[in-house]
Amino acid sequence: MTIERRNFLKTCAALCAAPVTLQSGLYNSIPALYPQKEHLVEAKYYDKLENQKIQCKLCPRECVIDNLERGYCGVRENRDGIYYTLVHSQAVTSHIDPIEKKPMFHFLPGEDAFSFATVGCNVECKFCQNWQISQIRPEQTKNYFMPPKSIAVNAKKSKCKVIAYTYSEPVIFYEYMYETIIKGNEDGIKSVMISNGYINPDPLKKLCSMISGIKIDLKAITDSFYKKYVSGELKPVLNSLVAIKNSGTWLEIVYLVIPTLNDSEKEFKDLAKWIKQNLGYDVPLHFTRFYPQYKLLNLPPTPINTLIKAKQIADSEGLNFVYVGNVPGNPSENTYCPKCKNILIERAGYHIKQNKIKNNRCYFCNNNIPGVFI
């Protein structure tokens, strides 16, 4: 039985982090490695192969997994030829956040989102701000039993109009998210996914038929960056962006500007051109300030002038809604009408000071403003 180096190291870490309690049964002998069967849910999107192997079809990695092994994400496991998710209803964290924190600026501005995550991710960004939960296994954290219906109920009690799948990577807890979207929709609560977009076409298509909004973190516009700093590929993410836009699901994009790595004027221009040609002029684009995190502690925070330059380039390419993020008080946090140029939504950090959009129309000139507004 072969074990990838990454998975081997995570297994060792799990054994060191959690006490081992011996119990009876094949899968119960080491709980830190094999969660109880009653907590398992069969995964969606996989093919059964010979000799009890399976091939995951959820994300572009399409891991081929031997019996009693896991995929790259570390939260989906092959048991006797059946693929299981180990994190269904096992939330590692939950909070009530303003929707602007995601950031989503054209989706119910000023409303709160009941936000939660499980552990795990299907990439490894060297600049991940939530690496403590994205780069570990479910045995290494204290998880909370939060079934889909309870999330919808708690969101409604908290007067949240949105459920957000966020913090880690929602793609890897797809089944959990899928069922929670259904329960939320039944109670009139919309759902948004905050994602890296590293997902295969079929599961994405099914998701878009149910979810109300998606924000994609586009890490860079070059494949070399994805391979070196994300452990992934660019093309599947670009394909996801086009698929989301074509589905009619509301879409916003964040581009984290990292000094010396993805911050050239050429990259800003290539990014804006690609968005304009493939997604149109109206998809909101957020240029966000980088702060040293995880394995990129050697780089400084993004100069504000770099962010302003990025916005100017995207503006010059004709994009209508370009924002600067992680710089509280910057005028580029505000939403302006592309036609009359008046401020429609004035922001101070995550706080909405005024909102002049109603029924997707500009208060001043009646121009249509794309988004999900009350």
- What's 132-171 look like in SS3? HHHCCCHHHCCCEECCHHHHHHHHHHCCCCEEEECCCCHH
* Tokens representing residue 65 in the block: 């997994």
Torsion of CA 231, 224, 285, 254, to 10 degrees: 20
Of 52, 85, 118, the last residue of a domain is 85
Does 80 lie in the same domain as 195? no
Residue-level pLDDT at 257: 98
Instruction: Residue 271: give its domain's CATH number.
Output: 3.20.20.70
Does 358 lie in the same domain as 213? yes
Q: Is 59 helix (H, G, I), strand (E, B) or coil?
A: coil
Does 198 lie in the same domain as 284? yes
Does 66 lie in the same domain as 210? no
368 located within any domain? no
Residue partners of 187: CB distance under 8 A and separation at least 6: 152, 153, 155, 156
Residue-level pLDDT at 36: 54
Placement of tokens 């403003």 in the chain: 369
**What is the spatial distance between Cα 128 and Cα 295, in angstroms, rounded to a whole number?**
8
Alpha carbon distance, N-terminus to C-terminus of the chain: 55
For Cα atoms 121, 6, 45, give the angle at the middle one, nearest 5 degrees.
45
193 located within any domain? yes
226 located within any domain? yes
Residue partners of 305: CB distance under 8 A and separation at least 6: none
Q: How many other C-beta atoms are found inside a 10 Å radius of the C-beta of residue 16?
A: 9
Q: What single-letter DSSP state applies at residue 37?
A: G
**What is the spatial distance between Cα 374 and Cα 283, in angstroms, rounded to a whole number?**
19
Does 123 lie in the same domain as 78? no
Q: Residue 129 belongs to what domain range?
A: 90-362
Q: How many other C-beta atoms are found inside a 10 Å radius of the C-beta of residue 33?
A: 17
Contact 339, 367 (CB under 8 A): yes
**What is the spatial distance between Cα 161 and Cα 317, in angstroms, rounded to a whole number?**
34
Residue-level pLDDT at 19: 30
Q: Which residues pair with 192 in a beta bridge?
A: 164, 213
* Tokens representing residue 84 in the block: 């299981």
Residues constituting the chain? 374
Helix, strand, coil percentages, rounded to 5, for the chain = 30, 25, 45
Of 50, 85, 120, the last residue of a domain is 85
Residue-level pLDDT at 374: 85
- The residue type at 231: S
276 located within any domain? yes
Residue-level pLDDT at 39: 66
- For 280, the enclosing helix (H) or strand (E) is none
- The residue type at 227: K
369 located within any domain? no
Does 259 lie in the same domain as 221? yes
pLDDT per residue of the chain (374 residues) written in tens, 0 to 9: 444 545 544 444 444 433 322 222 222 223 334 445 556 899 999 999 999 999 999 999 999 999 999 999 999 999 999 999 999 999 999 999 999 999 999 999 999 999 999 999 999 999 999 999 999 999 999 999 999 999 999 999 999 999 999 999 999 999 999 999 999 999 999 999 999 999 999 999 999 999 999 999 999 999 999 999 999 999 999 999 999 999 999 999 999 999 999 999 999 999 999 999 999 999 999 999 999 999 999 999 999 999 999 999 999 999 999 999 999 989 999 999 999 999 999 999 999 999 999 999 999 999 999 999 98
Contact 192, 217 (CB under 8 A): no
Q: Is 267 helix (H, G, I), strand (E, B) or coil?
A: helix
Does 323 lie in the same domain as 309? yes
Instruction: Count how many domains the chain has.
Output: 2
Does 314 lie in the same domain as 198? yes
- The residue type at 11: T
Residue-level pLDDT at 37: 55
367 located within any domain? no
Q: Which residues pair with 354 in a beta bridge?
A: 346
Placement of tokens 């795990």 in the chain: 120
Of 59, 85, 111, the last residue of a domain is 85
Does 281 lie in the same domain as 135? yes
Does 244 lie in the same domain as 354? yes
Residue-level pLDDT at 40: 87
